[in-house]
Chain A
Amino acid sequence: MDIHALQQIVHKTRDARRKQTIPKFSPADRDALIEKYHPDFRKSAYRPIRFGPNADEQTVIELATLLEGDSPIADDLDVTPHYQTDVLVIGGGGAGCAAALHAHGTGAKVILATKLRLGDSNSVMAQGGMQISVAPEDSPVTHFLDTLKGGHMQNDHALLKVMVEEGPAIAKWLIELGVLFDRQADGNLHVKKGGGSSKPRLLTCSDYTGLEIMRVLKDEVLNQKIQLLEFCAAVELLSNDEGHCTGAIFKDLDNHRLVVVAAKSVILATGGIGRLHIQGFPTSNHYGATGDGLCLSYRMGAKLAHIDTFQYHPSGAVYPEQLIGALVTEGIRSEGGHLVNSKGERFVNELDTRDVVSSSIIRECEEGRGIRTMSGRVGVWLDTPLLDAEHGPGTVEKHFPAMMLQFERFGIDISKDPVLIYPTLHYQNGGVKIDTNSETNVKNLFVSGEASGGLHGRNRLMGNSLLDLMVFGKRAGLTAASRAQSMAQGKLTLQHLRRFRAEAKQHGSPSGVISPMVLPAYTRKEN
């Protein structure tokens, strides 16, 4: 059927739906729903990791395979360094830039290496905002409790306390660098309410929060003349006799030459794993989000946390084909947008946590109340025109210019037509386990941002990621830099790799998979 014909049900039922209030699920119903429909509970998608620091723990097959994968580096490689630095930051997104700037600010020598360009990251795509408790009726403790509830009480308390308490200082730092957050008429920061939060707490820059922050941070990295290695993908770490991290090996993607960097400490800020398309899900993630940091740290002996849980953002585009997986910001639901099934019914409180909303959408689709596209995808409607009906004409265009433009390119006016959505793989809730200074159990190996784990528990609240990466990027940068002042460069060896290979051998024949993946294999090859 014509998409416009199918959309009529949304227009017809709008006024009736506006009078409805959908209660949130009780904790018991919520847990039952998630267990039945959330992709984290699909047992067939999981298997135990055979060896290494997280041996016998379950994770998705795609990740387990890469964690057990072999390094592309020969363990007798000549590791004479091409570069020497105090702090080596791997990754050029939000966490990497924050770490590099703070480390550099203390006077340490910093090299920032990144697989693509400086700034290429999920951070730049963050639309919804950044959670910081700045409103008078809010507090860091409330932020803590909301996040804990959203994370199924599994969050690391120490990390979480640090994040919520240092948030306001981070906002101040960003404002001083020139980030333009939305303001109220009185000059105070405008705050929006996000799913799962009890108070309005989201700082926004229109629906370009990540872009605005990253434009500024990138520019600042350039202004500070921090040394960059772009188009260099980290493929192995280096360790000394005691197993401490002492640097990294990169593959220069232009000429495939290996580049060895000696560093007193290493900060991995490599982001998430959306581009592994676990369980076949489309993803909202950027091209380079292939989980490289997890593989590198794991081989080095770093313990991972919560790697059996992922975030499926409730609203990824399902139509048109060109936008599959692209994010339809949660802001639409924050401002009252309804989720509507093929019968014109609402089926969940749209402001419930992401895991609950995603599970509900999957339930609707599995029980036959979804709308299918001929490419075999299925979704439910997100009533975007409702925002103009509710708050006056022009609301969608004014509040969501990025989204308007994205759909307009394909002839869809989201202020007039609802959009078809389905959960899209959005975030890795877990990652490398860190302490409050972002350090892992491997000395001098720091991890910050999405690659780190523990803070978000089993489900991340909207807007907590931008804050996470700023706070722990900063802490990693400061700790790594201060330590570098009082230590000597460690010996560069590949001992950890020999150990890892020996262990892999004990657990059967190697899988033949080389990790990290570096870039997803989208290039079509003729047989």
Chain B
Amino acid sequence: MAHEDTNVIDQPEVLKPRMVSIEISGKKYEVPEGITVIKALWYTGQEVVRGAGCLGGFCGACATYYRTKDDPKVRTCLACQMAVQDGMSFTIMPPFPARKAIYDIQTLKDPKQDLFNLYPEAPLCRNCNACTEACPQKIDVREGVWKAVFGDFKSVSEMFMDCVMCGMCTPVCIADIAPNLVALYVSRAQGAHFTEKPQGLETRIKEIQDGRFNDEWNKVLAMNEKELADHCATVK
């Protein structure tokens, strides 16, 4: 008789998946509880071309609106990162037609002032906080827009490091701001114009150009297989 294995995690939902009712773009389906929203789409036979990307929560392709049972609030999620539950209703959001400003990052003269030319709507934020509520990455988007307008580019770039560019902050903005695009501009400007140039990197580039490592290269590249393997083993 098989002895009881004590190293098994109980997952009753896996052994006997409980089926739950969900609604996708208005049509009802039964799917196993706990699968992700994107897997629910596949489970119901739907091919996904728009709305699937990295499947790991990084690319923002699967921006989704959803609502749970008996709750009037429409929420947002990434379809690859959200488990379905009974009574849930959802629809994938196609990319929203936001306007992206076109600029040459390297020749900007006054990036903080240029923000107002590139995104003139940015200072019109009415503080409603809808963008922050819409962000599946829990970024304080409203705060970020304000900081951008007040020229605190460093804080914005730190706050938006988590931004997957899903764009769900955009359709909810009553001032027609695309906060993610504003933040991307600000972060790039911060990186290209307001961050110290790393001296060590410049030194290394010059060393390579000046051939500082040439002798070592010549030595290594002249080695036979055995010598090279032995040499590699000495690198600690």
Interface membership of B100, Cβ < 8 A:
yes
Taken together as a complex, chains A and B put the C-alpha atoms of A210 and B8 apart, in Å, by 35
Contacts of B43 in A (CB 8 A): 524
Interface membership of A139, Cβ < 8 A:
yes
Please determine whether B190 and A286 come into contact, CB atoms closer than 8 angstroms: no
A108-142: contact bitstring with B at CB < 8 Å (1 yes, 0 no)?
A: 00000000110111101100000001111001111
Taken together as a complex, chains A and B put the C-alpha atoms of A122 and B58 apart, in Å, by 10
Interface membership of B2, Cβ < 8 A:
no
Please determine whether A140 and B14 come into contact, CB atoms closer than 8 angstroms: no
Please determine whether B217 and A176 come into contact, CB atoms closer than 8 angstroms: no
Report B186 CB to chain A, min CB distance, Å: 10
Known contacts A141-B216, A321-B14: A287-B201 contact under CB 8 Å = no
Known contacts A120-B54, A178-B192, A372-B5: A253-B199 contact under CB 8 Å = no
B132-150: contact bitstring with A at CB < 8 Å (1 yes, 0 no)?
A: 0000011000000000000
Please determine whether A189 and B198 come into contact, CB atoms closer than 8 angstroms: yes
A282-309: contact bitstring with B at CB < 8 Å (1 yes, 0 no)?
A: 0010110000000000000000000000
Contacts of B220 in A (CB 8 A): 141, 144-145
B40-57: contact bitstring with A at CB < 8 Å (1 yes, 0 no)?
A: 001111111110111111
Interface membership of A417, Cβ < 8 A:
no
Contacts of B1 in A (CB 8 A): none
Contacts of B202 in A (CB 8 A): 172
A residues 493-527 in Cβ contact with B at 8 Å = 519, 522-526
A residues 254-291 in Cβ contact with B at 8 Å = 254, 284, 286-287
Of A43-51, A403-411, A480-488, the segment with at least 4 beta carbons within 8 Å of chain B is A403-411
Report B103 CB to chain A, min CB distance, Å: 6
Interface membership of A373, Cβ < 8 A:
yes
Closest to A219 in B: B184
Please determine whether B200 and A134 come into contact, CB atoms closer than 8 angstroms: yes
Interface membership of B74, Cβ < 8 A:
no
Please determine whether B205 and A169 come into contact, CB atoms closer than 8 angstroms: yes
Interface membership of A220, Cβ < 8 A:
yes
Known contacts A6-B9, A287-B55: A176-B192 contact under CB 8 Å = yes
Of A146-154, A446-454, A464-472, the segment with at least 4 beta carbons within 8 Å of chain B is A146-154
Report A376 CB to chain B, min CB distance, Å: 9
Of A77-85, A179-187, A350-358, A433-441, the segment with at least 4 beta carbons within 8 Å of chain B is A179-187
B185-201: contact bitstring with A at CB < 8 Å (1 yes, 0 no)?
A: 00111111001111111
Contacts of B52 in A (CB 8 A): 116, 287
Please determine whether A322 and B201 come into contact, CB atoms closer than 8 angstroms: no
Q: Which of A116, A180, A401 contacts B187, CB < 8 Å?
A: A180
B97-113: contact bitstring with A at CB < 8 Å (1 yes, 0 no)?
A: 00010111110000000
Interface membership of A198, Cβ < 8 A:
yes
B45-77: contact bitstring with A at CB < 8 Å (1 yes, 0 no)?
A: 111111011111111010000000000000000
Report B184 CB to chain A, min CB distance, Å: 6
Please determine whether B9 and A198 come into contact, CB atoms closer than 8 angstroms: no
Please determine whether B8 and A286 come into contact, CB atoms closer than 8 angstroms: no
Contacts of B58 in A (CB 8 A): 124-125, 208, 210-211, 402
B residues 182-236 in Cβ contact with A at 8 Å = 184, 187-192, 195-205, 208, 213, 216-217, 220-221, 225, 228-229, 231-233, 235-236
Taken together as a complex, chains A and B put the C-alpha atoms of A186 and B49 apart, in Å, by 46
Known contacts A134-B200, A284-B56: A253-B195 contact under CB 8 Å = no
Taken together as a complex, chains A and B put the C-alpha atoms of A320 and B35 apart, in Å, by 10
Contacts of A372 in B (CB 8 A): 5, 7-9
Taken together as a complex, chains A and B put the C-alpha atoms of A187 and B203 apart, in Å, by 14
Interface membership of A2, Cβ < 8 A:
yes
Interface membership of B36, Cβ < 8 A:
yes
Please determine whether B192 and A175 come into contact, CB atoms closer than 8 angstroms: yes
Interface membership of B81, Cβ < 8 A:
yes
Closest to B229 in A: A153
Contacts of A410 in B (CB 8 A): 83
Report A7 CB to chain B, min CB distance, Å: 10
A residues 203-237 in Cβ contact with B at 8 Å = 205-206, 208, 210-212, 215-216, 219-220, 222-223, 225, 231
Contacts of A216 in B (CB 8 A): 184, 188, 191
Taken together as a complex, chains A and B put the C-alpha atoms of A146 and B228 apart, in Å, by 11
Contacts of A526 in B (CB 8 A): 45
Contacts of B217 in A (CB 8 A): 141, 161
Q: Which of A133, A178, A188 contacts B190, CB < 8 Å?
A: A178
Contacts of B56 in A (CB 8 A): 125, 284, 286, 326-327, 406
Interchain Cβ contacts under 8 Å between A and B, 22 examples: A1-B7, A120-B53, A124-B53, A124-B54, A136-B200, A141-B213, A142-B235, A145-B232, A145-B235, A146-B235, A153-B229, A175-B201, A178-B188, A187-B197, A188-B201, A205-B161, A215-B184, A219-B188, A322-B34, A342-B7, A371-B7, A373-B9
Report the 7 A-B pairs with minimum CB-CB distance, sorted nearest first: A178-B188, A178-B191, A187-B196, A178-B192, A286-B54, A374-B11, A375-B14
| Given A116-B49, A523-B45, A524-B44, 15 further pairs, Cβ under 8 A | A2-B9, A124-B54, A139-B213, A141-B217, A145-B231, A153-B229, A168-B205, A175-B192, A178-B190, A180-B161, A187-B196, A212-B161, A286-B59, A320-B34, A373-B11
Interface residues of B (CB under 8 A from A): 5-15, 34-36, 39, 42-50, 52-59, 61, 81-83, 95, 100, 102-106, 137-138, 157, 161-165, 184, 187-192, 195-205, 208, 213, 216-217, 220-221, 225, 228-229, 231-233, 235-236
